[in-house]
Amino acid sequence: MIFVTVGTQDPFDRLVRPVDAWCARHPDVPVVGQVIDPGPEGHRPRHFEWTSYMAPAVYRDTFARAKLIVGHAGMGSIITAMDLQKPIIVMPRRAALREQRNDHQYATAMRLGDRPGVYVALDEADLTARLDEALKTGFAMGGGAITPFAEDRLIAALRAEIHR
Amino acid sequence: MASTRRVLAIASTGGHWVQLRRLRPAWDGCPVMYATTDAGHREEVMRDAAARGQPVPRFRTVREANRWQKWRLIRQFLGVLWLLVTFRPHVIVTTGAAPGFFAVFAGHYLGMRTVWIDSVANGEELSLSGKRAGRFATLWLTQWESLSTPDGPRFAGTVL
């Protein structure tokens, strides 16, 4: 199963539309989406099952069952993917397209795109190509494992402040 | 290692919350209250505390609000203020966004220690709330060394 997630705030048509088109061509691949409702003007997925909101437990469970994550380049999606050792294709929201206030998702994608299991798609064609590739490899795309906690030195700095 | 230092760990749901949770060994042994904007996080907080042999945490929710929703933001601020007044934390730790800013802001005036850790997502410039939090936080951190300055924010590592 592929899990599509665009975060808790805004719709993301530029990601949802190509995924939906891809699903139309691959009806045998199960895809589940947590996709903010785009309203009447936006693109409502017709070829995969989706919901606007997932309770945290459902989100985590869906994430854990997925073979591949397709998400916006939000830290929640990326850290959770690394934590659960899932490959993730991220598409950053862009300021120029009014998908975000500034280009921090683009910066995040550029900085974390070299981590094992993290793949960056900058546009629709890129995303479609990544999905085709993923299907071809049977979703064997690695998945970055990280420790369950923040860096020791950051935790030490916080602990010092707490017990000051 | 039991402590009597009360810690309020607060962040809105999503990426901010995921980052906050990765910091939790910092307040091991302390009486902690978690606050976020989605009640569904209660279960994971309780399950994890039990699994890690930690004191039973408190868990509270505050109203979700984005920066365009003035009335909801006011309600959220009052909710955060209520938590500060009733729990009286010694230390507030937040990774953002709005509820964390409100906690740091109000906590400053209530004489509490306040920690702002700007999201690792902000590698080019601090978040808006992160910039504003600087003058109220007793510990003001960025997760990107390139954004640290002698006058703050400081860099002390990342959640990754």
In a domain, B160, yes or no: no
Task: Return the number of CB contacts < 8 Å for A and B.
Answer: 119
Q: For the packed helices B98-109 and B70-87, what is the interaxial angle rounded to 10 degrees?
A: 50
Number of structural domains (chain B) is 1
Record: contact A76-B23, CB cut-off 8 A: no
| Token pair of A73 as six digits | 């380049």
Task: Inform me whether the pLDDT recorded for B2 exceeds 90.
Answer: no
Encode pLDDT of B45-95 as tens digits.
999 999 999 999 999 999 988 778 899 999 999 999 999 999 999 999 999
Task: Inform me whether the pLDDT recorded for A144 exceeds 90.
Answer: no
Q: Which residues, 6 or more positions from B41, have their beta carbon under 8 angstroms from its beta carbon?
A: A56, B13, B17, B34, B59
The CATH number of residue B30's host domain is 3.40.50.2000
> Mean pLDDT for chain B?
96
Q: Looking at chain B, which residue has its C-alpha nearest residue A115?
A: B160
Record: contact A149-B24, CB cut-off 8 A: yes
Instruction: Quote the domain boundaries for residue A64.
Output: 2-162
The CATH number of residue A128's host domain is 3.40.50.2000
pLDDT range class, residue A122, cuts 50, 70, 90: very high
Task: Inform me whether the pLDDT recorded for A129 exceeds 90.
Answer: yes
Encode pLDDT of B102-111 as tens digits.
999 999 999 9
Residue at B130: amino acid letter: G
Task: Say what the ipTM of the complex is.
Answer: 0.96
CB count, 10 Å around CB of A163? Answer: 15
pLDDT value at position B137? 98
In a domain, B1, yes or no: no
pLDDT value at position A9? 86
List chain B residues with CB under 8 Å of A118. none
pTM exceeds cut of 0.90: yes
B18 touches chain A (CB under 8 A): yes
φ, ψ for residue B124, nearest 5 deg: -100, -40
Q: Which residues, 6 or more positions from A11, have their beta carbon under 8 angstroms from its beta carbon?
A: A35, A36, A37, A38, A39, A42
pLDDT value at position A145? 78
Pairwise CA distance, residues B120 & B122, whole Å: 5
The region of weakest confidence among A44-58, A77-91, A132-146, B132-146 is A132-146
What would the DSSP string read from start to end of B106-143?
HHHHTT-EEEEE--TT-SSS--HHHHHHTTT-SEEEES
Calculate mean pLDDT across residues B127-145: 97
pLDDT value at position A141? 87
Quote the minimal CA–CA distance from A162 to chain B in Å: 6
Encode pLDDT of A64-117 as tens digits.
999 999 999 999 999 999 999 999 999 999 999 999 888 999 999 999 998 999
Q: Give the SS3 label for residue A120.
A: strand
Q: To the nearest whole percent, how much of chain A has pLDDT over 70?
A: 100
In a domain, B91, yes or no: yes
Smallest Cα–Cα separation from A75: which of B93, B101, B158?
B158
Pairwise CA distance, residues A117 & A96, whole Å: 27
* A10, A85, B26, B74, B87 from A35: Cα distances, Å: 9, 22, 34, 28, 36
Record: contact B160-A74, CB cut-off 8 A: no
Instruction: Quote the domain boundaries for residue B92.
Output: 7-155
Task: Inform me whether the pLDDT recorded for B1 exceeds 70.
Answer: no
Task: Inform me whether the pLDDT recorded for B141 exceeds 70.
Answer: yes
pLDDT value at position B66? 78
Task: Inform me whether the pLDDT recorded for A47 exceeds 70.
Answer: yes
